[in-house]
Amino acid sequence: MTKLSVNINKVATLRNARGGNNPDVEKVALDCEQFGAEGITVHPRPDERHIRYSDVYALRPVLKTEFNIEGYPSKEFVDLVLKVKPTQVTLVPDAPDQITSNCGWDTKTHQAFLTELMDTFGEAGIRTSIFVGTDLELIEYAAKTGADRVELYTEPYASLYPKNPEAAVAPFVEAADRVHKLGMGLNAGHDLSLVNLKYFHEHIPWLDEVSIGHALICDALYLGLKKTIEEYKNCLR
């Protein structure tokens, strides 16, 4: 079964806008678990504009499901991950000032850099995942780094889906098939929503995990968090 990991960055964004501790990021994470999420994702950025490093440390001992920390592997980020030892680390090629992740790694150009990181995290017992697009050559180079999984960057799918679902999903099916043949696990994330998730999953049912934040938190404003998580999980059945 494909697991749902809830990215709680936007909850932290709301908290930070006003100061204080409302909403309580830790409580929301625990509620997501109670409502059926199989994982929690955070993406701490250097400016801590949403998730703070202190949040990451606070969450680790209380979470009962899989904990996924994603981010650009700066020295500070690598040190954080090695101290916290989450279930999974997902490496993204974000510049410090990016609003959100908007591309996958050039795993060919950065093969040596990524391979060293895979070794470092692997020795610490942390599952590794690399954020990639659908370029088959770059997926093969991701496998050469020793990554346990890749996470497919699904914004292109989400953008094209309203106009042409078949064309939107086709390159992702091909990429997912290559990932499977290379023996890696498969995650997906970015702009997946209640509108497009079910179709995506129907065509790639062997997905290990989807990481969803912005759309899920937006839906929760109308449906409530419990109902929203139930609806996303229904898309993955």
Numbered residues of the known binding site:
7, 18, 45, 50, 100, 191, 213-214
Which residue type sits at 151? E
H/E run at residue 40: strand 39-42
Catalytic residue among 70, 151, 201, 209: 70
- 10 Å CB burial of residue 153 (0-12, 13-18, 19+) is buried
What region, left, alpha or beta, does residue 48 occupy, with left being phi > 0 and alpha being psi -120 to 50 degrees? left
Catalytic status, residue 180: no
What residues form the annotated binding site for 3-amino-2-oxopropyl phosphate?
A: 7, 18, 191, 213-214
Among residues 43, 151, 201, 209, which one is catalytic? 43
Annotated binding residues for 1-deoxy-D-xylulose 5-phosphate, written as ranges, equal: 45, 50, 100
- Active-site residue (options: 33, 66, 190, 201): 190
The answer to whether the bond into 23 is cis (omega within 30° of 0) is: yes
Q: Are 114 and 132 in contact (CB under 8 A)?
A: no
**Catalytic residue annotation:** 43, 70, 190
